[in-house]
Structure 1
Amino acid sequence: MANFKMHLGVAAIGSGMVATLCLGAGLASVQEVAILSLLGTIGGLLPDIDLDHSTPTRLMFTALGLLLAFLAMFFKAAHYSVLELWLVWGATYLAVRYLAWRMFSDLTSHRGIFHSLAAALFFCFLGTAIAYHQFDAPRLTAWLVGFFLLLGYIIHLALDEIYSVDFENRRLKRSFGTALKLIDSRHLNNSGMMLGFVLLLFFMTPDFSPVTDALSNANTWQQLGSHLLPQGTWFAL
């Protein structure tokens, strides 16, 4: 399987490139591009949250806790006092860093349900629902949040499958097929629970029509085409 640095680097590059396309198409602002790139990078690390007590796992939950804590504080800044914002930040961070980490540690095994497309959809719908309901993000932006988590997640799974192929000896390693799978057939109870959460979260996501409207709008593609290549001298100010 690919190591932590490989997952981090490829997810960061891939999500950054796609986020830049969203900027060129007018689907995201400069500030949103930075957040989406970060979310895609985090999505590229999420499948390994089932590695108990490992350094990457602690780093992932720490980074996720900090991100969600700051987002929760910023989006409530207009409504709460400074003391209340500090409490929101602290409660969010502690819930993610320790409570969520402990729950995942107790309920999961490595290369289990979290190395599956079902888990990728779980985080996609979860991110979309949180962005829309908790942070009052527009429907299109909320779906972009979920999409970038999904993108990073699938990049991770694909990398693990690629590293399961020994190209020099032209053989498949025993780990082949354990990463990029629909569900975890070894633990059907966990798979059934995950699919139930996916269905529940799907009904909590906002209307998908803004996404289809943006993708079917000719102006979106025209704007992307006009920003894809330089319109004169390269790097001209």
Structure 2
Amino acid sequence: MANFRTHLTGGFAVSGILGLVTYKAGLVNANEFLMCVLAGTVGGLLPDIDSDNSIPIKMGFDLASLATGFALIIHWRSELSLLSMILLWVVGYLIMRYVVFSIFTKLTVHRGIIHSVPYMSVLALSLTCVNYYLLDTSSIVSWFYGAFLFLGSMIHLGLDEAYSVDLLNRRLKRSSGTAMKFYKDSQRYYYLGLYAILLMFIFIAPPFDPFFRKINDPITWWLIKDSLLPEVLMR
């Protein structure tokens, strides 16, 4: 299985290159380009959130715990004294960091349902829907964010599968097939529920046609071609 550094580098490198192509084609602006690269990099770490001792899950829960504490005191700031707000922040942080984290780690198994293609598809569509419906982002850019997150997660799963092949001894390790999976019979009911959620997100997802037409527009690819040609050849 690939380590944290490999997943981070792989997700960042691929999303960075494709992000530049997308930016040079005029499909996204500078800020949206950075968000695409960020989404791809995060996607490159996401499948390991089911590992109790992984760096992504620890970092994620640390940030979520801090954010939860601040969200609580911001919500009740006008009703509480300074001491009460401090206590509320501490309680919110501790509950999220230790109670919720403990429950999450007990309910998840490394390389379980989270470490699968349909689960990553759900997360990518969730990001697309959140940006479109809640953050008032255009459908095209929302789809780009979701696509980059999904791409990063596929890089992660692909790297894990690649590391399960022992080229020297020409054999597959026991971990082969446990990374990039679509279904597992021992978890059939979980997968059925997961695919039901996936269908729901597909149904409520923002319009896909504008995004599809944009990336298939010949003018888009002419812009990329022109940006790649040396200036001397353009004269």
Give the root-mean-square deviation of aligned CA atoms.
2.8
Do the aligned residues in 2 keep the contact of 1:39 with 1:148 (CA within 8 Å)?
A: yes
Is residue 2:119 matched to residue 1:119?
yes
Which one is further off, 134-143 or 116-125?
116-125
Q: AA paired with 2:21?
A: L
Do the aligned residues in 2 keep the contact of 1:7 with 1:156 (CA within 8 Å)?
A: yes
Is the alpha carbon distance of 1:101 and 1:204 closer, same or farther for their aligned partners in structure 2, counting shifts above 3 Å? farther
Q: TM-score w.r.t. structure 2 length?
A: 0.81
CA distance in 2, matches of 1:103, 1:208: 37
Q: Following TM superposition, where does structure 1 have runs of at least 4 consecutive aligned residues deviating by more than 6 angstroms?
A: none
SS at match of 1:113: coil
Match of 1:22 in 2: 22
SS at match of 2:128: helix
Match of 1:156 in 2: 156
CA distance in 2, matches of 1:213, 1:223: 16
CA distance in 2, matches of 1:136, 1:184: 37
Do the aligned residues in 2 keep the contact of 1:15 with 1:36 (CA within 8 Å)?
A: yes
Match of 1:78 in 2: none
Q: AA paired with 1:38?
A: L
Query: How do 1:100-115 residues align onto structure 2 when only pairs under 5 Å count?
Result: 104-115=104-115
CA distance in 1, matches of 2:232, 2:101: 51
Which one is further off, 124-133 or 184-193?
184-193
CA distance in 2, matches of 1:21, 1:186: 42
Do the aligned residues in 1 keep the contact of 2:23 with 2:33 (CA within 8 Å)?
A: yes
Paired residues, what number? 212
Do the aligned residues in 2 keep the contact of 1:49 with 1:104 (CA within 8 Å)?
A: no
Is the alpha carbon distance of 1:166 and 1:142 closer, same or farther for their aligned partners in structure 2, counting shifts above 3 Å? same
Q: CA deviation at 1:178?
A: 0.4
Q: Choose 1 or 2 for highest CA Rg.
A: 2
CA distance in 1, matches of 2:190, 2:136: 31
CA distance in 1, matches of 2:222, 2:3: 39
Unaligned ranges ≥5, structure 2? 79-88
Q: TM-score w.r.t. structure 1 length?
A: 0.80
CA distance in 2, matches of 1:26, 1:100: 42
Q: AA paired with 1:186?
A: S
CA distance in 2, matches of 1:140, 1:101: 35
Residues 56-96 of structure 1: CA deviation (Å, up to 9, x unaligned): 31124446x49x99xxx9xxxxxxxxx67x99xx9xx97xx
SS at match of 2:181: coil
Task: Name the structure with the higher helix share.
Answer: 2
Q: AA paired with 2:127?
A: G
